[in-house]
A and B are shown apart, each in its own frame.
Chain A
Amino acid sequence: MEIGEKHQGKIAVLAPAGRIDNETSPSFQAKLLDAVGNSDTAVLVDFSGVEYISSAGLRALMMASKKAKAAGTRLAVAALTPMVQEIFTISRFSLVVQVFETIAEATAALT
């Protein structure tokens, strides 16, 4: 899947696009873990382009969250689309991964 990457200051911002499901979660996971491994401050996932995320995608996010925690870096998500927001609520992921409403809020908090 297409996963844009840029930096805002020291924050690595990943921007996946489309669906994060069984087909695409391996590449999402690889990119995410790589970004966490290369960051010494924070990784932010911009979900504005993600229309759906399955349990496989959430599992990738959890793995990255654990890796970030072990490395002392921060991992957060922002700009969830309505369906993804619902999935975060249903899965209770909003309780384990920091969720920001906008990219601006997220970068301000993570800086």
Chain B
Amino acid sequence: MLIRFWGTRGSIPAPLGHRAIRDKIREALLAARGRHLESLESIESFIEEDLPFSVGGTFGGNTSCVELVTGGDEYVLCDLGTGLREFGNRVLAKHGPARPHRFNVFLSHMHWDHIMGFPFFGPAYIPGNVIRIFGCHREMMEAFVRQQSHPCFPVDFRALSATIEFIELEPGRAYEIDGLAVQTIQQNHPSDSYGFRFSHEGKNVVFSTDCEHKFQILNDAYPFIEFFRAADVLIFDAQYSLADQISVKEDWGHSSNMIAVELAQLAGVKHLVMYHHEPVLDDRMLEKVLEETRHYAAMTATIRKLNVTSAYDGLEIVI
């Protein structure tokens, strides 16, 4: 299975401005002083191996959208944030507009950062495409209609030419969808959100964004431990610091890097992917959070070492 991240920010898109780009170029040129970078290969190698990711790359600014590639004929997505736009453009560029596709979307909840990409999803405008949106909220369609109607958007939702279906799932029940075994769990978030556990050919991926973990004591009785159990990849909302999560941002519905590590370790997760990045944090700050989180995971490791990554737009993980 391949996991491809199209949008990893939370709350609101956070594009880079020209000043941030200039800062990266300056840092890269300073780092390149005295280096003989004559060939394209040497330049690529320098960027890849000698520049920190915050200089040579970016975590990106699109909001929540993750693709699961299982080798089946249908596309599988989690959430429809602004990352969806580039995903849709890639599908159309690769196959052209004439070929019909089926898209299976698993929607954590309808807050705008998780649905705001849909009005810009090219395939939704093309007849013959089928888009099935699975989620546990009864009001899913209402949210999409409201988002894409006068006066908020010039093209009404009902004018979209693809076949769009909203399928309500029951939290706690197991499903088989497009060759994937799917389970859901209700999560602590304003108006609720839902996490998804996907199993395919012995591999397990958990998509758990927008969840505030408020346990007093963490042990095996905490329901998320079983839901996360032995996941190959856990995609986890670590938007805030622990201090923020349990003070000024209490009840805002998000978690932290420390909670992420503690839950992942107790559940025996192999690879923790921090997700739903705070829009205020720039690339350098996110990189620092990643370094600190890896350090915390190493400090608290017991049996197995926990692999920790911070998701970025364009990241691909093969499991």
Binding site for B on A (CB under 8 A): 22, 25-26, 52, 54-56, 58-59, 62, 66, 83, 86-87, 89-93, 95-96
Of the residues A26, A56, A83, contact of B218 by C-beta under 8 Å = A56
**Structural contact, B243 and A96, CB atoms closer than 8 A:** yes
**Structural contact, A62 and B217, CB atoms closer than 8 A:** no
* Shortest distance between the CB of B216 and any CB in chain A (Å): 7
Please give, as numbers and ranges, the residues of chain A lying within 8 Å of B295 by CB-CB distance: 86, 90
**Structural contact, A92 and B242, CB atoms closer than 8 A:** yes
* Shortest distance between the CB of A1 and any CB in chain B (Å): 14
Nearest-CB residue, chain B, relative to A25: B217
Please give, as numbers and ranges, the residues of chain B lying within 8 Å of A26 by CB-CB distance: 216-217
User: Which applies to chain A's interface (DSSP): helix, strand, loop or mixed?
Assistant: helix
**Structural contact, A92 and B217, CB atoms closer than 8 A:** no
- Taking A91-B256, A92-B244 as known contacts, 9 extra A-B pairs with beta carbons closer than 8 A to each other, sorted by chain A number, are A26-B217, A55-B218, A55-B242, A55-B258, A55-B259, A56-B217, A66-B247, A92-B242, A93-B243
Please give, as numbers and ranges, the residues of chain B lying within 8 Å of A66 by CB-CB distance: 247
Please give, as numbers and ranges, the residues of chain A lying within 8 Å of B258 by CB-CB distance: 55, 58, 87, 90-91
Please give, as numbers and ranges, the residues of chain B lying within 8 Å of A92 by CB-CB distance: 241-244
* Shortest distance between the CB of A18 and any CB in chain B (Å): 15
**Structural contact, B243 and A22, CB atoms closer than 8 A:** no
* Shortest distance between the CB of A94 and any CB in chain B (Å): 8
**Given known contacts A26-B217, A56-B217, A62-B247, A90 and B259 CB-to-CB distance under 8 angstroms:** no
Nearest-CB residue, chain B, relative to A62: B246
* Shortest distance between the CB of A70 and any CB in chain B (Å): 13
**Contact of B45 with A by CB under 8 A:** no
Chain B: how many interface residues by the 8 Å CB criterion?
A: 22
**Contact of B149 with A by CB under 8 A:** no
A-B CB pair tally, cutoff 8 Å: 60
User: Which applies to chain B's interface (DSSP): helix, strand, loop or mixed?
Assistant: helix
**Structural contact, A90 and B247, CB atoms closer than 8 A:** no
* Shortest distance between the CB of A77 and any CB in chain B (Å): 13
**Contact of B148 with A by CB under 8 A:** no
Q: Which one of A25, A56, A59 has the greatest number of beta carbons of chain B within 10 Å?
A: A59
B4-33 Cβ-contact flags toward A at 8 Å (1 or 0): 000000000000000000000000000000
Q: Which one of B257, B292, B293 has the greatest number of beta carbons of chain A within 10 Å?
A: B292
Nearest-CB residue, chain B, relative to A95: B243
Please give, as numbers and ranges, the residues of chain B lying within 8 Å of A25 by CB-CB distance: 217
Please give, as numbers and ranges, the residues of chain B lying within 8 Å of A52 by CB-CB distance: 299-300
**Structural contact, B299 and A83, CB atoms closer than 8 A:** yes
User: A95–B242 Cα gap in the complex (Å)?
Assistant: 11
**Structural contact, A89 and B243, CB atoms closer than 8 A:** no
Please give, as numbers and ranges, the residues of chain B lying within 8 Å of A91 by CB-CB distance: 241-243, 256, 258
11 contacts between A and B (CB under 8 A): A22-B218, A55-B242, A55-B262, A56-B218, A59-B216, A90-B242, A90-B292, A90-B296, A91-B256, A93-B243, A96-B243
**Structural contact, B217 and A58, CB atoms closer than 8 A:** no
User: A86–B291 Cα gap in the complex (Å)?
Assistant: 12
**Structural contact, B244 and A56, CB atoms closer than 8 A:** no
**Contact of B219 with A by CB under 8 A:** yes
* Shortest distance between the CB of B315 and any CB in chain A (Å): 23
Please give, as numbers and ranges, the residues of chain B lying within 8 Å of A22 by CB-CB distance: 217-219
Nearest-CB residue, chain B, relative to A97: B243
Of the residues B215, B217, B299, contact of A86 by C-beta under 8 Å = B299
**Structural contact, B217 and A90, CB atoms closer than 8 A:** no
Interface residues of B in 285-311 (CB under 8 A from A): 292-293, 295-296, 299-300
Please give, as numbers and ranges, the residues of chain A lying within 8 Å of B218 by CB-CB distance: 22, 54-56
User: A62–B243 Cα gap in the complex (Å)?
Assistant: 8
Closest 4 pairs (CB-CB, A-B): A92-B241, A91-B242, A92-B243, A90-B292
